[in-house]
Chain A
């Protein structure tokens, strides 16, 4: 069978034109629509379809919302119709479609008859691909945000701890010196009060620094950081956390420790906010180079598959993102009235020496 001279060719083309899911528009030189196939009819609003049939010039503009250029997502600047020679043959086009509203399409536009200026526009729906790209994009942005947030917290926390708190400590020392100088009782009493409030202020700043990013995490590792955090939870919120850990003094890469710590924090906060429990179980394990974190409560739970978050829903999302950042995985098991269990596994390689600095 020779290709170009096949007797069936007209028939084949006719079938392609009728059956394809790709929308096709044929245009005359003035932009009048010469012909359009079924698939094209499917995507165009009936009213506009009628107008197109009437042969109005440039009637495609009634449904077209512009193509994607380097500068804009939807633009009519240097429209493919008016300057076909300057346009790439394939580009992304947005159409106002029937029922579905604005949708992205992958478009090809070609002049098929130079002499008469006849051209064809073919469109394939890109919605699925665009959505996939958007989700991917969002994930990458989320990871960047998490990293930026962590770095910024670390910076402010260090700043508070190393410079503000130090400065305050030295004025406190100055104040104490003042007490031993020749001052009367009234001044002495006032000095004591000032000293007290300065001390509290100093404490407050240290506390703030710890909340932003606990130095104990950087200095003494996960177990110590969790113990400090848990103590705070019990005091402020009356939540009891049973911590069991076989990590001892073992250290991991800074990034991994941060991820584990933040997920633990978030999970405990979630349990406190939503699970209606007073007790939470937290387990830290290291099995053959896999660092494991498990947080379990016996609270009200939720349906993992049909989940309408009470909060922003960003917490769980953020946990997943964090775990993915360090190449681990997270499992959330929960059922209504049966409590919630969150398991995180991160390949951690070898534990690192405690003295090694991994904060930079």
Chain B
């Protein structure tokens, strides 16, 4: 995680929260030191509890894990409509923070997903396609060296 500490992620997400009038923002970062890459919610704002700290995701698990694995953004306009109640447990962050609508994007550095940024609302249908676009535009250099929202070269996919 070289150089990550040099950036003020906290103020970056606070600012983003203002801009998007979001209820919750979380930034999950990847711990590459382990062979089995692990994602944790390192920076959050607007959280209801500290439960998010317990979540440790591997590739493909949870929202951060899915975005990390696919390298694709993910948007859910209405959680109760798109996620069945009995499957909700797969996304603990939604339960802990009572999110009803959210969008998440991968943050790249040199073609590797370094982090996952989640913007959530506690009311359904708040994350519209329009707002999601706005969200993607609003993410910029304040997120340090890995603000690229797309892979540079799609043909060399390592992860």
Contact = CB atoms under 8 A, between A and B. Distances in A.
Specify whether A and B are partners: yes
Interface of A: 193, 196-197, 199-200, 203-204, 234-240, 269, 272-274, 276, 278, 310-311
A118 B57 CA distance: 80
A1 B90 CA distance: 80
B92 A238 contact: yes
B62 to A, nearest CB: 7
Contacts of A197: 158
B82 interface: no
Contacts of A240: 54
Interface string B130-151: 0000000000000000000000
Contact of A200 (B35, B52, B62): B35
A196 B92 contact: no
A269 B87 CA distance: 11
Chain A contact surface mostly: helix
Interface string B48-79: 00011011111001100000000000000000
Contact of A193 (B51, B55, B62, B158): B158
B35 A237 contact: no
Contact of B85 (A204, A278, A310): A310
Among B62, B86, B158: residue with most chain A CB under 10 A? B86
Given A234-B54, A236-B92, A238-B92, 19 more contacts: A196-B35, A200-B37, A203-B35, A204-B36, A235-B55, A236-B61, A236-B62, A237-B92, A238-B51, A238-B52, A238-B96, A239-B89, A272-B89, A273-B89, A274-B85, A274-B86, A276-B95, A278-B51, A310-B86
| Chain B residues touching A, range | 20 to 34
Which residue among B52, B89, B92 has the maximum number of chain A CB atoms within 10 Å of its CB? B89
Contacts, number: 50
Nearest to B62: A236
A196 B52 CA distance: 28
A158 B12 CA distance: 49
Contact of B56 (A236, A273, A278): A236
A278 B158 CA distance: 36
8 contacts: A197-B158, A199-B35, A200-B36, A235-B57, A236-B55, A240-B54, A278-B96, A310-B85
Contacts of B36: 200, 203-204
Contacts of B85: 273-274, 310
Interface in B27-58: 35-37, 51-52, 54-58
A235 B89 contact: no
Contacts of A234: 54
Contacts of A235: 54-57
Which has the most chain A C-beta neighbours within 10 Å: B35, B61, B96?
B35
Contacts of A273: 85-86, 88-89
B57 A236 contact: yes
A238 B37 contact: no
A232 B86 CA distance: 19
10 residue pairs, one from A and one from B, having the closest CB atoms: A238-B92, A235-B56, A238-B54, A199-B35, A272-B89, A203-B36, A238-B55, A237-B92, A273-B89, A273-B86
A200 B36 CA distance: 5
A197 B52 CA distance: 28
Nearest to A204: B36
A237 to B, nearest CB: 5
Nearest to A202: B35
Contacts of B55: 235-238
A51 B92 CA distance: 67
B39 to A, nearest CB: 10
Contacts of B54: 234-235, 238, 240
B54 to A, nearest CB: 4
